[in-house]
Copies of this chain bind each other. A is one copy, B any other.
Amino acid sequence: MKDKVRVALAGLGTVGAGVVKLLDANAALIGRRAGKPIEVVAVSARDRALDRGFGLTRFDWVDDATALAARDDVDVVVELIGGSDGPALTLARGALGAGKHLVTANKAMIAHHGLELAAAAEQAGLALRYEAAVAGGIPVVKGLSEGAAANALGRVYGILNGTCNFILSTMESEGRDFADVLAEAQRLGYAEADPSFDIDGVDTAHKLAILASIAFGSRIDFASVATSGIRAVLAADIAQAAALGYRIRLVGLAETAPEGSATAGLFQRVHPCLVPLSHPLAHVTGSLNAVVAEGDFVGRLTFEGRGAGGGPTASAVVADLVDIARGRTGPAFAMPVDGLVAMPAAAAGERRGRAYLRFSVADRPGVLAEITAAMRDANVSIESLIQRGRAPDGGVLVALVTHEGPERCVADALARLEGSSSLTGKPLLMHILDL
């Protein structure tokens, strides 16, 4: 790596092709910034014949991506295959085992195996870098682990999935329903043919678990992220939220509470939330992403930009390569792995907050009395109650906003209503982001 950084690229999809195009387009500039050229020497992908807008003859082609790890002519392996396990993980382990720095955009792999890989990298004095795995082109891994390094961070949250944000903000601006907008997003390439990882919140949960580890110095704990997605959000919910001064966003949120408090531990949740118009996340529209971190000295920091796509993601991958060229091979999670603390998962029950609840109910007398009685019996105080509109199932929509209180009370109220013949569908609970 003396005169140049030699890169092996595994995966030539949107992001991999973007990396090649970026390194071509900005080669001179990157050389000046990195202090040496960054050159792709070998590539591997599923389909050699595919037209990617550039030729492959200048690269060594390797059929088996995992074989890239062992090459003597490579300093850094860039893993863009995807998937938490399988060939991506085999390649990642192999690369670090063979003394190569590793750059990846693979959030699933980092969320599940990041600590193992980081420990291997540390022991070998190698870099494990994954800026592209969280919020695409936004340099938020760097922003938290280096830019905010002086702070004890108490909370990190954000909009981490562009597909969901595109769907929610399109539903909002055009008054259309979820299924309709999802189909459009799939046509436009903003959503996968199987969109469940995105719209059920799993992708956001991967990214959140990584951010929480960086922010809090905690061991990654993906399994403890309480995750729900946006399938149940109706156009009517968005209209109702708008009338109350809110926008609906899928928010991944992690926070720590002081020891001894009722909510002590690490709290991680992915959930559609009502975001007031005064909050920066309310103004993040389309497929943009944004991350907010709260530090004890810096206060609130917000990072916004494009969370996906070939160009932005390639920007993050190559930023990692520039860092490696500059000799920056520090720990992957802002501190050595054995300094990371295993934080117990905090229960949500004692968290205090306001909530939005929406019911589809039968159109008959006594239904409102039943709902409000359940609220009363669960000690949930109602701030406002609105009965308006028709549910897709023919029922009547009833929405209410609670006063601030413990989340367990709202859960209790919903439990009391479970199975009630007054409800024509599953109620929707969304938390209100009063931050």
Residues of chain A at the chain B interface (Cβ within 8 Å): 18, 22, 25-26, 29-30, 32-35, 131, 137-139, 142-143, 145-152, 217, 280, 283, 295-306, 311-312, 314-319, 321-323, 326-328, 330, 334-336, 339
Contacts and interface: CB of A to CB of B under 8 A. Distances in A.
A324 to B, nearest CB: 11
A334 to B, nearest CB: 6
A26 B152 contact: yes
A319 B148 contact: yes
Contact of A143 (B139, B150, B328): B139
A146 B150 contact: no
Contacts of A22: 150, 297
Contacts of A147: 131, 138-139, 142-143, 319
A138 B32 CA distance: 25
A15 to B, nearest CB: 11
Contact of A315 (B29, B137, B280, B298): B298
Given A301-B137, A304-B301, A34 B149 contact: yes
A193 to B, nearest CB: 25
Contact of A298 (B145, B146, B312): B312
Given A297-B18, A305-B302, A312-B298, A318 B25 contact: no
A58 to B, nearest CB: 20
12 contacts: A25-B296, A26-B150, A30-B149, A33-B335, A139-B301, A142-B142, A143-B303, A150-B315, A295-B315, A299-B305, A302-B304, A303-B303
How many of these chains are in the complex? 2
A131 B301 CA distance: 14
A24 to B, nearest CB: 11
**Which of A25, A137, A145 has the largest number of chain B CB atoms within 10 A?**
A137
A338 to B, nearest CB: 10
A272 to B, nearest CB: 21
A322 B142 CA distance: 13
A315 B151 contact: yes
B148 A139 contact: yes
Contacts of A305: 298-302
Contacts of A139: 142-143, 146-148, 301
A32 B319 contact: no
A149 B319 CA distance: 6
B142 A146 contact: yes
Contacts of A335: 32-33
Contacts of A323: 146, 149
A415 B142 CA distance: 49
A150 B318 contact: yes
B283 A312 contact: no
A141 B321 CA distance: 18
A398 B328 CA distance: 57
B151 A26 contact: yes
A327 B327 CA distance: 9
A327 B330 CA distance: 9
B299 A306 contact: yes
B319 A330 contact: no
**Which of A142, A314, A315, A316 has the largest number of chain B CB atoms within 10 A?**
A315
Contacts of A18: 297
A148 B300 contact: no
Contacts of A319: 146-150
**Which of A33, A142, A299 has the largest number of chain B CB atoms within 10 A?**
A33
